[in-house]
Structure 1
Amino acid sequence: MEKRVVYTAATIAAVACVVAVIVIRKRSKGIKWGKVKEMFKEIESKCALPIERLKQIASAMETEMHAGLASDGGSKLKMLLSYVDRLPTGGEEGLFYALDLGGTNFRVLRVQLGGKEGGVVRQEYQEVSIPPHLMVGSSHDLFDFIAEALSSFVASEGEEYKVPEGKQRELGFTFSFPVKQLSLSSGTLIKWTKGFCIEETVGEDVVAELTKAMERQGLDMKVTALVNDTVGTLVGGRYEDGDVMAGVILGTGSNAAYVERASSIPKWHDELPKSGEMVINMEWGNFKSPLLPVTEFDEALDFESLNPGEQIYEKLISGMYLGEVVRRVLLKISEEFPIFGDIVPPKLESPFILRTPQMSGIHHDSSPDLKVVAKKLKETLGIHNTSIKTRKFVVDVCDMVAKRAARLAAAGIYAIIKKIGRDTLSDDKQRTVIAIDGGLFEHYTAFSDCLERTLRELLGEEVANSVVIKHANDGSGIGAALIAASHSN
């Protein structure tokens, strides 16, 4: 009886081996590139964004912008009031500080402004890592740690930074977590993200928490402004160029802020600001529409994410997700055809193993034999000995995903330009400048070039000549200091 069981198990193992060999031989017969391209074309058609569809997407976003300005909860776009109603003119003078808390590190900055003639006279900063235990500890301990770093930064100053008697130091606080803003200098935390989990801070005013911690440190400093990093990008850009009307983040995540007429904000019930303007934080990552080219790969990624059903637009255009979409496409195709050899590479089955910087390196390879592509596939995915045809195909997949993202981002910018009435030629031919920050825009040249070309298509050549895209480096830091300066007492 025992021999029969052993014999049966051995037989099953042998049959399994034979089946495996047959499958491998079948896959080894060669890649049917015609069939591969056919499958790719089908996926590509679902990602396609002809100009008319982009205009429809922009119109849908503009409609949502109106709804979000009319009432809280009226749209997927939150259209948050930033309470920034005075933008820098270039004439700001004095010493101002910024605290930029956006993740596991934070920066403290000191900015000396010299007015119209001097501009930014001096800018210094220090970066501090937050110990992991403070990210899940108590609110008291976290803000004490931050205030201590601020106090140490101030204590290291020389005589040239001495503050006049009776004057407080003023700080712009960039806090890149979901906040319900209550005024320019107050806002309650909705939820932590990015690995932080301190329940007692949720629902509390983060400016009040920081202020109490600074008082415990004996630091005489006032938080003049609480800002989002996108608003900071807009303000930093406006300081350099008075025609900046919007700030956009295209990095790991994505968002946009723009200058709106205060009279066009029905949900603003207070007295209109003297400037007649208000910066709006769109939170555009949450835009959703049946017009968006969502594929099976995007649906699966969204379903498996930490926030299914949310941030759909961001999942199509931001650096956090582009490499992952490429991986999913390559996995699906390699399961059907042996483009990477007789078996599916095990690493290709690992979520988020292919990051957008690696995707960018593959996409930008201009060598005749695509040796960078070969190197990236080997180092990142453990794929060896690829043919030139396979490498070219991988580049094509990267191009498809990046192009879709860039064209969608251009449609979002076009929606803002339409909303503020800058999509037609004016008599004075006024410039409209869009300040963009973020590693995706800065480092992924194929993405940024495609975005700019698409925006020109959407605007038409004549109007496009009056619209300028500018890279605004480090807007979130210096922008907070500038907002503090603009709203200084």
Structure 2
Amino acid sequence: MGKLGLGIAAACAVASCAVAAVMVGRRVRSRRRWWKVVTAVQELEAAAATPVGRLRQVVDAMAVEMHAGLASEGGSKLKMLLTFVDNLPDGSENGIYYALHVGGTNFRILKIQLGGQRSILGRDVERKPIPQSLMTSTSEEFFDFIALALKEFIERMGNNLQLSQVRGKDLGFTFSFPVKQTSVSSGTLIKWTKGFAIEDMVEKDVVECLQKALSRRGLDMNVAALVNDSVGTLAVGHFLDKDTVAAVVIGTGTNACYLERADAVIKCQGLLSTSGGMVINMEWGNFWSSHLPRTSYDTDLDVESQNPNDQGFEKMISGMYLGDIVRRVIHRLSIESDIFGPLSYKLSTRFVLSTPLMAAMHEDDSPDLREVAKILEETLDIRDVPLKARKIMVKVCDVVTRRAARLVAAGIVGILKKIGRDGTGGISSGRIKGYKSGKMRRTVVAVEGGLYTSYTVFREYLNEAVAEILGEEIAPYVILKTMEDGSGIGAAMLAASNSARSVDTVQVL
């Protein structure tokens, strides 16, 4: 081989080495970026971990806060509000009743016919979206919209029923925002949540606002019961099953209520109740404890929210926020790595990824995760995502969802602990009086809301965690029952059970 040949060979060798070096360098950088992603996800998983020991700490903290909230006003982040509901529907109610449920981006109108013997003979339900503009408008505009929708519903469902034929009909009103009740059919709005901000409504009687709107629309109907969504769910749960003692709503927002002994409400000593009990609206979205596994993503979400340092529990577990927590994680991963390709501007948009879309990705069981790819492209403008990145997306969804579901489970067991139904003193602590054999009392918790009813993985994680916390001896006696449209139907049932009362039966002396 001549000098020229040797030169060319040497040059080719150098070039090959250079190309190889570049390729190796790229691989090294790619691996480093990939490990950054893996490390970030591992850090998220560790920060959001909910081992059973930690969940039991949350259970204890929930029970302690419940005691404190019942002892004095402002004694706890849990408001523990009196509902003035001292008698839950018992299944004997009958007749036709209407209900409204306002509590999120949609509201529901219901008509039910009760036939006694725990039977519902018929029901009609209509869902209507609330225009975004009305969520920040005036109380008059907002309630005029609600009243007009009810009027049109009555006419349509009654085949042009004359409005005079519903004169004096009792109406149940589920209003899923923090309200300080003054009677079973009146209460003032404490504050707005879930994106609503109608300023002139705060500290106003919401029933009075609705009654005036009904009058303006020519509807002569009586709001016989004002209830929170969780109270409505408890009412229908108790109507169907007498062992129902608590209710949880876990959807766009979240709340819980339960049946408490009247003498345990220390902040209202002298409380008179015909049944000796009182339904307490916990407003548990505001629960907080140092035992909650908070991450940097939760902190950032809270700081940027409309209500910083408020509704901390809700921001970790409810449908309004879970999708946005996932978006924040993916945004950070996209900044630190090119795993999702070029950084999409949509990742900076709050709430662009809804929780239903997050759930759809989480539950995608196709081999190539095509639903994940579709949602990333159509919602976040992230295209041509490799399979391993799609798997990371599913993993993030799983971590966020699992934490939320298990924290809800801890909250539920916290309620049971407060009322002595968790068996922490052994099976005898929940024993039915008079049963020497130690038979455990059956305890039913009514659950409503899209996260539980429609999100299968969330429901499985929640049920699994309740059983894990309670233990195999106690868990079989605690039943979580799904309620469809429970909050609205329960309001109509409470209207039925309260319609015959000429005065409130619950008083604070």
The TM-score bracket by the shorter chain reads: 0.7 to 0.9
- Establish whether residue 476 from structure 1 lines up as the match of residue 487 from structure 2: yes
Q: Which residue of 1 aligns with 2:8?
A: none
User: C-alpha separation between the residues in 2 aligned to 1:440 and 1:301?
Assistant: 20
Deviation of the 1:87 alpha carbon:
0.7
Q: Which residue of 2 aligns with 1:42?
A: 43
Q: Which residue of 1 aligns with 2:87?
A: 86
Summarize deviations over 1:344-371 as a string: whole Å, max 9, x none: 3333233222221121112112222222
Q: Which residue of 2 aligns with 1:326?
A: 326
Q: Which residue of 1 aligns with 2:460?
A: 449
Q: 1:14-29 to 2 correspondence within 5 Å?
A: 29=29
User: C-alpha separation between the residues in 2 aligned to 1:344 and 1:145?
Assistant: 42
Q: Which residue of 2 aligns with 1:336?
A: 336
User: C-alpha separation between the residues in 1 aligned to 2:411 and 2:498?
Assistant: 29
Q: Which residue of 2 aligns with 1:393?
A: 392
Q: Which residue of 1 aligns with 2:349?
A: 350
User: C-alpha separation between the residues in 2 aligned to 1:97 and 1:438?
Assistant: 21
Shift in CA distance, 258/352, structure 1 to aligned 2, threshold 3 Å: same
Shift in CA distance, 384/261, structure 1 to aligned 2, threshold 3 Å: same
User: Which amino acid is the alignment partner of residue 399 of structure 1?
Assistant: D
User: Which amino acid is the alignment partner of residue 444 of structure 1?
Assistant: Y
User: C-alpha separation between the residues in 2 aligned to 1:152 and 1:35?
Assistant: 57
User: Which amino acid is the alignment partner of residue 300 of structure 2?
Assistant: A
- Establish whether residue 58 from structure 1 lines up as the match of residue 53 from structure 2: no
The runs of 5 or more residues in structure 2 that have no matched partner are: 1-21, 432-437, 501-509
Q: Which residue of 2 aligns with 1:281?
A: 281
Q: Which residue of 1 aligns with 2:78?
A: 77
Q: More deviation in 122-131 or 330-339? A: 122-131
User: Which amino acid is the alignment partner of residue 430 of structure 1?
Assistant: R
Q: Secondary structure at the match of 2:474?
A: helix
Q: 1:311-322 to 2 correspondence within 5 Å?
A: 311-322=311-322
Shift in CA distance, 128/444, structure 1 to aligned 2, threshold 3 Å: closer
Preserved CA contact (<8 Å) 2:250 2:452: yes
Deviation of the 1:389 alpha carbon:
1.8
Deviation of the 1:374 alpha carbon:
2.1
Shift in CA distance, 365/196, structure 1 to aligned 2, threshold 3 Å: closer
Shift in CA distance, 337/263, structure 1 to aligned 2, threshold 3 Å: same
User: C-alpha separation between the residues in 2 aligned to 1:467 and 1:387?
Assistant: 44
Preserved CA contact (<8 Å) 1:143 1:210: yes
Q: Which residue of 2 aligns with 1:108?
A: 109
Q: Secondary structure at the match of 2:440?
A: coil
Q: Which residue of 2 aligns with 1:230?
A: 230
Q: 1:377-416 to 2 correspondence within 5 Å?
A: 377-416=376-415
Summarize deviations over 1:379-409 as a string: whole Å, max 9, x none: 2222222222222222111111111111111
Q: More deviation in 431-440 or 105-114? A: 105-114
User: C-alpha separation between the residues in 1 aligned to 2:44 and 2:126?
Assistant: 46
Q: Secondary structure at the match of 2:445?
A: strand
User: Which amino acid is the alignment partner of residue 55 of structure 2?
Assistant: L
User: Which amino acid is the alignment partner of residue 268 of structure 1?
Assistant: C
User: C-alpha separation between the residues in 1 aligned to 2:313 and 2:377?
Assistant: 31
Give the TM-score, by structure 2 length: 0.84
Shift in CA distance, 304/91, structure 1 to aligned 2, threshold 3 Å: same
User: C-alpha separation between the residues in 1 aligned to 2:94 and 2:403?
Assistant: 44
User: C-alpha separation between the residues in 1 aligned to 2:249 and 2:281?
Assistant: 11
User: Which amino acid is the alignment partner of residue 42 of structure 1?
Assistant: E
Summarize deviations over 1:39-67 as a string: whole Å, max 9, x none: 32222111111111110111011100000
User: C-alpha separation between the residues in 2 aligned to 1:163 and 1:92?
Assistant: 24
Q: Which residue of 1 aligns with 2:252?
A: 252
Q: Which residue of 2 aligns with 1:99?
A: 100
Shift in CA distance, 140/358, structure 1 to aligned 2, threshold 3 Å: closer
User: Which amino acid is the alignment partner of residue 292 of structure 1?
Assistant: L
Q: More deviation in 228-237 or 97-106? A: 97-106
Preserved CA contact (<8 Å) 1:31 1:338: no
Preserved CA contact (<8 Å) 1:324 1:353: yes
Q: 1:85-164 to 2 correspondence within 5 Å?
A: 85-103=86-104, 105-116=106-117, 119-128=119-128, 138-154=138-154
User: C-alpha separation between the residues in 2 aligned to 1:460 and 1:87?
Assistant: 30
User: C-alpha separation between the residues in 2 aligned to 1:394 and 1:288?
Assistant: 28
Q: 1:175-194 to 2 correspondence within 5 Å?
A: 175-193=175-193
Preserved CA contact (<8 Å) 2:234 2:245: yes
Q: Secondary structure at the match of 2:359?
A: helix
User: Which amino acid is the alignment partner of residue 336 of structure 1?
Assistant: E
User: C-alpha separation between the residues in 2 aligned to 1:43 and 1:196?
Assistant: 31
2:447 equivalent among 436, 439, 451:
436
Q: More deviation in 219-228 or 135-144? A: 135-144
User: C-alpha separation between the residues in 1 aligned to 2:47 and 2:137?
Assistant: 46
User: C-alpha separation between the residues in 2 aligned to 1:360 and 1:325?
Assistant: 13
User: C-alpha separation between the residues in 2 aligned to 1:438 and 1:185?
Assistant: 24
User: C-alpha separation between the residues in 2 aligned to 1:166 and 1:370?
Assistant: 53
Shift in CA distance, 122/294, structure 1 to aligned 2, threshold 3 Å: same
User: C-alpha separation between the residues in 2 aligned to 1:354 and 1:147?
Assistant: 32
| Matched-pair identity in % | 53
